[in-house]
Protein backbone atom coordinates (compact mmCIF):
# COMPACT_ATOMS: atom_id res chain seq x y z
CA UNK A 1 0.00 0.00 0.00
CA UNK A 2 1.51 3.35 -0.99
CA UNK A 3 1.96 5.85 1.82
CA UNK A 4 0.84 8.93 -0.11
CA UNK A 5 -1.86 10.22 2.21
CA UNK A 6 -2.01 12.50 5.19
CA UNK A 7 -4.19 11.95 8.25
CA UNK A 8 -5.93 15.34 8.04
CA UNK A 9 -8.89 16.18 5.77
CA UNK A 10 -7.75 17.85 2.55
CA UNK A 11 -8.60 21.57 2.49
CA UNK A 12 -11.04 22.77 -0.15
CA UNK A 13 -8.64 24.54 -2.56
CA UNK A 14 -6.75 21.34 -3.36
CA UNK A 15 -6.76 22.07 -7.07
CA UNK A 16 -5.07 25.46 -6.48
CA UNK A 17 -2.46 23.91 -4.18
CA UNK A 18 -1.65 21.14 -6.62
CA UNK A 19 -1.44 23.58 -9.53
CA UNK A 20 0.93 25.80 -7.52
CA UNK A 21 3.17 22.83 -6.67
CA UNK A 22 3.13 21.70 -10.29
CA UNK A 23 4.05 25.17 -11.57
CA UNK A 24 6.93 25.43 -9.10
CA UNK A 25 8.41 22.13 -10.34
CA UNK A 26 7.54 22.10 -14.03
CA UNK A 27 6.53 25.66 -15.04
CA UNK A 28 3.33 24.51 -16.78
CA UNK A 29 -0.40 24.40 -16.06
CA UNK A 30 -1.56 20.83 -15.36
CA UNK A 31 -4.69 18.82 -15.92
CA UNK A 32 -5.97 17.51 -12.57
CA UNK A 33 -7.77 14.26 -11.79
CA UNK A 34 -9.14 12.69 -8.62
CA UNK A 35 -9.94 9.10 -7.70
CA UNK A 36 -11.50 8.12 -4.38
CA UNK A 37 -10.78 5.45 -1.85
CA UNK A 38 -13.57 3.07 -0.98
CA UNK A 39 -15.41 1.36 1.81
CA UNK A 40 -16.95 -2.09 1.47
CA UNK A 41 -20.36 -2.08 3.10
CA UNK A 42 -20.48 -5.88 3.26
CA UNK A 43 -18.99 -8.87 1.42
CA UNK A 44 -15.59 -9.78 2.82
CA UNK A 45 -13.44 -12.65 1.47
CA UNK A 46 -16.02 -13.39 -1.22
CA UNK A 47 -14.22 -11.77 -4.14
CA UNK A 48 -11.73 -14.57 -4.82
CA UNK A 49 -14.61 -17.06 -4.90
CA UNK A 50 -16.22 -14.98 -7.67
CA UNK A 51 -18.88 -13.86 -5.21
CA UNK A 52 -20.62 -10.58 -4.47
CA UNK A 53 -19.23 -7.47 -2.79
CA UNK A 54 -20.86 -4.13 -1.99
CA UNK A 55 -18.34 -1.27 -2.15
CA UNK A 56 -18.85 2.47 -2.36
CA UNK A 57 -16.49 5.32 -3.18
CA UNK A 58 -15.75 7.87 -0.44
CA UNK A 59 -14.71 11.54 -0.44
CA UNK A 60 -11.10 10.84 0.60
CA UNK A 61 -8.78 9.99 -2.26
CA UNK A 62 -5.78 10.80 -4.44
CA UNK A 63 -5.32 13.85 -6.66
CA UNK A 64 -3.02 13.82 -9.70
CA UNK A 65 -1.75 16.82 -11.66
CA UNK A 66 -0.29 15.95 -15.07
CA UNK A 67 1.09 17.52 -18.23
CA UNK A 68 2.96 16.18 -21.27
CA UNK A 69 6.68 16.90 -21.43
CA UNK A 70 7.51 15.77 -24.99
CA UNK A 71 10.18 13.27 -23.88
CA UNK A 72 10.34 9.56 -22.95
CA UNK A 73 10.97 10.52 -19.30
CA UNK A 74 8.24 10.63 -16.65
CA UNK A 75 9.01 12.99 -13.76
CA UNK A 76 7.04 12.47 -10.55
CA UNK A 77 6.60 14.46 -7.34
CA UNK A 78 4.81 13.25 -4.20
CA UNK A 79 3.56 16.44 -2.57
CA UNK A 80 2.81 14.60 0.68
CA UNK A 81 6.31 13.21 1.06
CA UNK A 82 8.28 15.91 -0.71
CA UNK A 83 9.84 13.14 -2.81
CA UNK A 84 10.79 13.19 -6.49
CA UNK A 85 11.29 10.24 -8.85
CA UNK A 86 11.87 9.80 -12.57
CA UNK A 87 11.72 6.83 -14.92
CA UNK A 88 12.25 6.16 -18.61
CA UNK A 89 9.24 4.66 -20.39
CA UNK A 90 11.58 2.61 -22.57
CA UNK A 91 13.30 0.91 -19.62
CA UNK A 92 10.86 0.49 -16.75
CA UNK A 93 12.53 -0.82 -13.59
CA UNK A 94 10.24 -1.22 -10.56
CA UNK A 95 11.76 -0.46 -7.15
CA UNK A 96 10.62 -2.78 -4.38
CA UNK A 97 8.11 -1.06 -2.10
CA UNK A 98 8.24 2.31 -3.92
CA UNK A 99 5.07 4.32 -4.63
CA UNK A 100 6.27 5.00 -8.20
CA UNK A 101 5.70 1.32 -9.05
CA UNK A 102 1.98 2.01 -9.32
CA UNK A 103 2.57 4.68 -11.96
CA UNK A 104 5.06 2.51 -13.87
CA UNK A 105 2.61 -0.38 -13.79
CA UNK A 106 -0.23 1.66 -15.25
CA UNK A 107 2.06 2.99 -18.01
CA UNK A 108 3.29 -0.50 -18.88
CA UNK A 109 -0.21 -2.00 -19.07
CA UNK A 110 -1.56 0.86 -21.18
CA UNK A 111 1.33 0.49 -23.61
CA UNK A 112 0.81 -3.27 -23.79
CA UNK A 113 -2.81 -2.55 -24.71
CA UNK A 114 -1.73 -0.37 -27.62
CA UNK A 115 -1.96 3.10 -26.08
CA UNK A 116 0.98 5.32 -27.02
CA UNK A 117 1.92 6.67 -23.57
CA UNK A 118 4.62 9.32 -23.82
CA UNK A 119 6.58 11.26 -21.25
CA UNK A 120 4.75 13.34 -18.66
CA UNK A 121 5.27 15.35 -15.51
CA UNK A 122 3.09 14.48 -12.50
CA UNK A 123 2.40 15.68 -8.96
CA UNK A 124 0.45 13.47 -6.55
CA UNK A 125 -1.28 14.25 -3.25
CA UNK A 126 -3.87 12.52 -1.10
CA UNK A 127 -5.92 12.61 2.07
CA UNK A 128 -6.56 8.90 2.70
CA UNK A 129 -5.54 8.11 6.30
CA UNK A 130 -2.63 5.66 6.35
CA UNK A 131 -3.68 2.16 7.39
CA UNK A 132 -7.40 2.97 7.23
CA UNK A 133 -8.30 0.25 4.73
CA UNK A 134 -9.76 2.79 2.31
CA UNK A 135 -7.48 1.45 -0.44
CA UNK A 136 -5.08 4.25 -1.26
CA UNK A 137 -3.29 2.02 -3.78
CA UNK A 138 -6.40 1.58 -5.95
CA UNK A 139 -7.18 5.29 -5.71
CA UNK A 140 -3.63 6.11 -6.78
CA UNK A 141 -3.64 3.72 -9.74
CA UNK A 142 -7.09 4.78 -10.96
CA UNK A 143 -6.33 8.50 -10.60
CA UNK A 144 -3.06 8.03 -12.51
CA UNK A 145 -4.85 6.02 -15.21
CA UNK A 146 -7.59 8.64 -15.50
CA UNK A 147 -4.94 11.38 -15.80
CA UNK A 148 -2.88 9.63 -18.49
CA UNK A 149 -5.98 8.70 -20.47
CA UNK A 150 -7.23 12.30 -20.35
CA UNK A 151 -3.97 14.10 -21.15
CA UNK A 152 -3.27 11.90 -24.17
CA UNK A 153 -6.96 11.73 -25.19
CA UNK A 154 -7.07 7.91 -25.06
CA UNK A 155 -10.66 7.64 -23.83
CA UNK A 156 -9.92 4.42 -21.93
CA UNK A 157 -13.14 2.84 -20.52
CA UNK A 158 -13.49 2.82 -16.74
CA UNK A 159 -13.58 -0.97 -16.56
CA UNK A 160 -10.29 -1.19 -18.44
CA UNK A 161 -8.70 1.30 -16.05
CA UNK A 162 -9.89 -0.82 -13.11
CA UNK A 163 -8.46 -3.98 -14.69
CA UNK A 164 -5.14 -2.25 -15.43
CA UNK A 165 -5.00 -1.05 -11.81
CA UNK A 166 -5.60 -4.58 -10.52
CA UNK A 167 -2.99 -6.11 -12.80
CA UNK A 168 -0.52 -3.32 -12.01
CA UNK A 169 -0.73 -4.24 -8.31
CA UNK A 170 -0.16 -7.90 -9.18
CA UNK A 171 2.84 -7.32 -11.45
CA UNK A 172 4.48 -4.14 -10.15
CA UNK A 173 3.56 -3.98 -6.46
CA UNK A 174 3.47 -7.72 -5.77
CA UNK A 175 -0.03 -7.61 -4.24
CA UNK A 176 -2.53 -10.27 -5.35
CA UNK A 177 -5.58 -8.02 -4.94
CA UNK A 178 -9.10 -8.46 -6.27
CA UNK A 179 -11.06 -6.25 -8.65
CA UNK A 180 -13.24 -4.56 -6.00
CA UNK A 181 -10.99 -1.68 -4.94
CA UNK A 182 -10.11 -0.18 -8.34
CA UNK A 183 -13.60 -0.96 -9.66
CA UNK A 184 -15.25 1.01 -6.85
CA UNK A 185 -12.79 3.88 -7.30
CA UNK A 186 -13.52 4.06 -11.03
CA UNK A 187 -17.30 3.53 -11.01
CA UNK A 188 -18.34 5.13 -7.70
CA UNK A 189 -21.56 7.17 -7.65
CA UNK A 190 -22.51 9.72 -5.01
CA UNK A 191 -25.10 8.30 -2.64
CA UNK A 192 -24.96 4.82 -4.15
CA UNK A 193 -23.10 1.57 -3.47
CA UNK A 194 -22.10 -0.87 -6.19
CA UNK A 195 -23.52 -4.38 -6.00
CA UNK A 196 -20.55 -5.95 -7.78
CA UNK A 197 -20.54 -9.46 -9.21
CA UNK A 198 -16.88 -10.50 -9.09
CA UNK A 199 -17.45 -13.23 -11.69
CA UNK A 200 -18.99 -11.15 -14.45
CA UNK A 201 -17.29 -7.91 -13.30
CA UNK A 202 -20.57 -6.07 -13.69
CA UNK A 203 -22.50 -4.06 -11.13
CA UNK A 204 -25.81 -2.51 -10.18
CA UNK A 205 -26.05 0.86 -8.45
CA UNK A 206 -27.98 0.65 -5.18
CA UNK A 207 -29.13 3.89 -3.49
CA UNK A 208 -27.88 4.17 0.10
CA UNK A 209 -30.26 6.43 2.00
CA UNK A 210 -29.03 6.53 5.59
CA UNK A 211 -31.61 9.00 6.92
CA UNK A 212 -30.75 9.84 10.52
CA UNK A 213 -27.66 7.59 10.48
CA UNK A 214 -24.08 7.98 9.30
CA UNK A 215 -21.15 5.71 8.54
CA UNK A 216 -17.97 6.03 10.57
CA UNK A 217 -14.84 3.90 10.58
CA UNK A 218 -13.04 3.11 13.81
CA UNK A 219 -9.40 2.33 13.12
CA UNK A 220 -7.98 -0.12 15.66
CA UNK A 221 -4.47 1.15 14.78
CA UNK A 222 -3.18 -2.43 14.80
CA UNK A 223 -2.11 -4.84 12.07
CA UNK A 224 -1.15 -8.32 13.20
CA UNK A 225 1.70 -10.09 11.43
CA UNK A 226 -0.23 -13.23 10.50
CA UNK A 227 -2.49 -11.35 8.08
CA UNK A 228 -0.70 -12.30 4.84
CA UNK A 229 -0.14 -15.98 5.65
CA UNK A 230 -3.68 -16.33 7.02
CA UNK A 231 -5.09 -14.80 3.84
CA UNK A 232 -3.32 -17.40 1.73
CA UNK A 233 -4.47 -20.20 4.02
CA UNK A 234 -8.11 -19.07 3.84
CA UNK A 235 -7.94 -18.81 0.07
CA UNK A 236 -6.48 -22.32 -0.18
CA UNK A 237 -9.17 -23.66 2.18
CA UNK A 238 -11.88 -22.29 -0.09
CA UNK A 239 -10.26 -23.80 -3.18
CA UNK A 240 -9.84 -27.17 -1.46
CA UNK A 241 -13.50 -27.09 -0.40
CA UNK A 242 -14.57 -26.58 -4.01
CA UNK A 243 -12.45 -29.56 -5.10
CA UNK A 244 -14.04 -31.80 -2.46
CA UNK A 245 -17.57 -30.61 -3.23
CA UNK A 246 -17.27 -31.10 -7.00
CA UNK A 247 -18.19 -34.81 -6.72
CA UNK A 248 -21.61 -34.02 -5.28
CA UNK A 249 -22.00 -30.60 -6.88
CA UNK A 250 -20.40 -31.04 -10.33
CA UNK A 251 -21.94 -27.81 -11.63
CA UNK A 252 -20.14 -25.50 -9.19
CA UNK A 253 -17.04 -23.52 -10.07
CA UNK A 254 -16.68 -21.66 -6.77
CA UNK A 255 -18.40 -21.52 -3.38
CA UNK A 256 -20.46 -18.64 -4.73
CA UNK A 257 -22.50 -21.22 -6.66
CA UNK A 258 -23.89 -22.82 -3.50
CA UNK A 259 -27.08 -21.69 -1.76
CA UNK A 260 -28.10 -21.50 1.88
CA UNK A 261 -30.41 -24.49 1.35
CA UNK A 262 -27.37 -26.63 0.48
CA UNK A 263 -25.39 -25.79 3.63
CA UNK A 264 -26.25 -29.01 5.45
CA UNK A 265 -25.11 -31.11 2.50
CA UNK A 266 -21.91 -29.10 2.41
CA UNK A 267 -21.44 -29.68 6.13
CA UNK A 268 -21.80 -33.44 5.65
CA UNK A 269 -19.16 -33.52 2.89
CA UNK A 270 -16.45 -31.18 4.16
CA UNK A 271 -14.08 -31.93 7.05
CA UNK A 272 -14.57 -29.89 10.21
CA UNK A 273 -11.52 -27.77 9.45
CA UNK A 274 -12.93 -26.60 6.11
CA UNK A 275 -16.68 -26.29 6.61
CA UNK A 276 -16.72 -23.03 8.64
CA UNK A 277 -14.64 -21.27 5.96
CA UNK A 278 -16.98 -22.46 3.20
CA UNK A 279 -19.98 -21.53 5.32
CA UNK A 280 -18.72 -17.97 5.66
CA UNK A 281 -18.35 -17.46 1.91
CA UNK A 282 -21.76 -19.00 1.13
CA UNK A 283 -23.59 -17.02 3.82
CA UNK A 284 -21.67 -13.79 3.18
CA UNK A 285 -22.65 -13.80 -0.50
CA UNK A 286 -26.27 -14.05 0.60
CA UNK A 287 -25.80 -11.24 3.12
CA UNK A 288 -24.56 -8.98 0.34
CA UNK A 289 -27.67 -9.64 -1.75
CA UNK A 290 -29.92 -9.24 1.30
CA UNK A 291 -28.17 -5.96 2.17
CA UNK A 292 -28.83 -4.56 -1.29
CA UNK A 293 -32.53 -5.43 -0.96
CA UNK A 294 -32.68 -3.96 2.55
CA UNK A 295 -31.21 -0.65 1.41
CA UNK A 296 -33.48 -0.51 -1.63
CA UNK A 297 -36.43 -0.79 0.79
CA UNK A 298 -34.91 1.66 3.26
CA UNK A 299 -34.75 -1.02 5.96
CA UNK A 300 -31.71 0.22 7.88
CA UNK A 301 -32.41 -1.94 10.93
CA UNK A 302 -32.21 -5.13 8.87
CA UNK A 303 -29.11 -3.87 7.07
CA UNK A 304 -27.52 -3.22 10.46
CA UNK A 305 -28.33 -6.75 11.62
CA UNK A 306 -26.61 -8.09 8.49
CA UNK A 307 -23.48 -6.08 9.35
CA UNK A 308 -23.49 -7.67 12.82
CA UNK A 309 -23.94 -11.14 11.32
CA UNK A 310 -21.09 -10.51 8.90
CA UNK A 311 -18.72 -9.66 11.74
CA UNK A 312 -19.75 -12.76 13.67
CA UNK A 313 -19.11 -14.94 10.62
CA UNK A 314 -15.74 -13.32 9.88
CA UNK A 315 -14.68 -13.71 13.50
CA UNK A 316 -16.02 -17.18 14.36
CA UNK A 317 -16.26 -19.04 11.04
CA UNK A 318 -13.59 -17.46 8.84
CA UNK A 319 -11.34 -16.58 11.79
CA UNK A 320 -9.84 -13.39 10.41
CA UNK A 321 -10.69 -11.03 13.25
CA UNK A 322 -8.54 -10.19 16.28
CA UNK A 323 -9.14 -9.12 19.89
CA UNK A 324 -9.10 -5.43 19.00
CA UNK A 325 -11.66 -5.73 16.19
CA UNK A 326 -13.90 -8.01 18.24
CA UNK A 327 -13.76 -5.57 21.15
CA UNK A 328 -14.66 -2.60 18.94
CA UNK A 329 -17.47 -4.56 17.32
CA UNK A 330 -19.01 -5.96 20.50
CA UNK A 331 -18.70 -2.65 22.35
CA UNK A 332 -20.43 -0.76 19.54
CA UNK A 333 -23.13 -3.39 19.04
CA UNK A 334 -24.20 -2.94 22.66
CA UNK A 335 -25.01 0.74 22.10
CA UNK A 336 -28.61 1.67 21.18
CA UNK A 337 -27.45 4.39 18.79
CA UNK A 338 -25.57 1.79 16.67
CA UNK A 339 -27.63 -0.20 14.14
CA UNK A 340 -24.75 -2.41 13.02
CA UNK A 341 -20.98 -2.83 12.96
CA UNK A 342 -18.48 -5.19 11.41
CA UNK A 343 -14.79 -5.47 10.70
CA UNK A 344 -13.93 -4.19 7.23
CA UNK A 345 -11.14 -5.57 5.06
CA UNK A 346 -8.91 -8.62 5.12
CA UNK A 347 -8.75 -8.83 8.90
CA UNK A 348 -6.29 -9.07 11.81
CA UNK A 349 -6.41 -5.30 12.25
CA UNK A 350 -7.63 -2.22 10.47
CA UNK A 351 -11.10 -0.76 10.90
CA UNK A 352 -14.63 -1.51 11.90
CA UNK A 353 -17.47 0.01 9.87
CA UNK A 354 -20.20 1.45 12.10
CA UNK A 355 -23.75 2.58 11.26
CA UNK A 356 -24.40 5.18 13.96
CA UNK A 357 -27.22 7.63 14.69
CA UNK A 358 -25.84 10.95 13.44
CA UNK A 359 -26.86 13.01 16.47
CA UNK A 360 -25.10 10.52 18.76
CA UNK A 361 -21.75 10.35 16.95
CA UNK A 362 -19.87 12.58 19.41
CA UNK A 363 -21.09 10.46 22.33
CA UNK A 364 -20.23 7.28 20.40
CA UNK A 365 -16.68 8.51 19.71
CA UNK A 366 -16.07 9.51 23.32
CA UNK A 367 -17.35 6.23 24.77
CA UNK A 368 -15.53 4.00 22.28
CA UNK A 369 -12.28 5.90 22.76
CA UNK A 370 -12.39 5.60 26.55
CA UNK A 371 -13.27 1.87 26.45
CA UNK A 372 -10.62 1.05 23.84
CA UNK A 373 -7.84 2.98 25.58
CA UNK A 374 -8.69 1.28 28.85
CA UNK A 375 -8.56 -2.17 27.24
CA UNK A 376 -5.58 -1.82 24.86
CA UNK A 377 -3.64 1.26 26.06
CA UNK A 378 -3.81 2.94 22.67
CA UNK A 379 -6.18 5.39 20.98
CA UNK A 380 -8.34 4.40 18.01
CA UNK A 381 -8.83 6.75 15.05
CA UNK A 382 -12.31 7.82 13.93
CA UNK A 383 -12.89 8.42 10.22
CA UNK A 384 -16.31 9.68 9.04
CA UNK A 385 -17.08 8.50 5.51
CA UNK A 386 -19.61 9.71 2.94
CA UNK A 387 -20.52 7.81 -0.20
CA UNK A 388 -19.18 9.88 -3.07
CA UNK A 389 -18.39 10.15 -6.78
CA UNK A 390 -15.84 7.97 -8.57
CA UNK A 391 -12.75 8.91 -10.60
CA UNK A 392 -12.94 12.06 -12.69
CA UNK A 393 -11.11 14.94 -14.31
CA UNK A 394 -11.44 17.99 -12.03
Listed residues 164, 184, 207: the one ending a domain: 207
Q: Is 47 annotated as a binding residue?
A: yes
DSSP string over 296-319: HTT-HHHHHHHHHHHHHIIIIIS-
Q: Does the residue 254 lie in any domain?
A: yes
Q: What is the pLDDT, as a whole number, of residue 139?
A: 95
CA distance 218 to 325: 9
Q: What is the mean pLDDT of each run of 10 residues along the chain (394 residues)?
A: 36 79 95 97 96 97 96 95 94 89 96 97 91 87 98 97 93 80 97 97 97 97 78 92 97 97 97 98 98 98 98 97 97 98 93 98 98 97 96 96
Q: Is 228 annotated as a binding residue?
A: no
Q: Does the residue 154 lie in any domain?
A: yes
| Reported pTM | 0.92
Those residues whose C-beta lies under 8 Å from the C-beta of residue 130, and which sit 6 or more positions away, are 3, 5, 7, 136
Residues 45 and 135 in one domain: yes
Residues 230 and 376 in one domain: yes
Each residue's pLDDT tens digit, 154-168? 999 999 999 999 999
Residues 145 and 234 in one domain: no
Q: Does the residue 56 lie in any domain?
A: yes
Q: What is the pLDDT, as a whole number, of residue 223?
A: 85
Q: Which residues are 125's β-sheet partners? A: 63
Q: Is 233 annotated as a binding residue?
A: no
Q: Is 220 annotated as a binding residue?
A: no
Catalytic residue (one of 80, 121, 181, 257): 181
Q: What is the CATH number of the domain that holds 105?
A: 3.30.230.10
Residues 183 and 224 in one domain: no
Residues 158 and 256 in one domain: no
Q: Which residues are 204's β-sheet partners? A: 195
Q: What is the pLDDT, as a whole number, of residue 227?
A: 65
Q: Is 284 annotated as a binding residue?
A: no
Q: Is 136 annotated as a binding residue?
A: yes
Domain of 118, in residue numbers: 14-207
Q: Assess whether 181 carries a catalytic annotation.
A: yes
Using alpha carbons only, what angle is made at residue 245 by residues 240 and 246, rounded to the nearest 5 degrees?
A: 100
Q: What is the pLDDT, as a whole number, of residue 192?
A: 98
Amino acid sequence: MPRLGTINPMPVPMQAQLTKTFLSHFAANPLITFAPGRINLIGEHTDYQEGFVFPAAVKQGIWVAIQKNESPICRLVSADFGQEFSFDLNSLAPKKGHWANYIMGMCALMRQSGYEVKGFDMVLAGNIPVGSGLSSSAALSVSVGTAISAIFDFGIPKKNLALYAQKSEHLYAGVNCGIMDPYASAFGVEGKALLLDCRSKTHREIPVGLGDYSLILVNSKVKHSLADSAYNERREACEESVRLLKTDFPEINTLRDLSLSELEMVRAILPDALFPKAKHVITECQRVLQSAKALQKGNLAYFGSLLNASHSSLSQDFEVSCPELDFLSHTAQAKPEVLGVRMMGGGFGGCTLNLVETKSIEKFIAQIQIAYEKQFFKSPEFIPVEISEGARVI
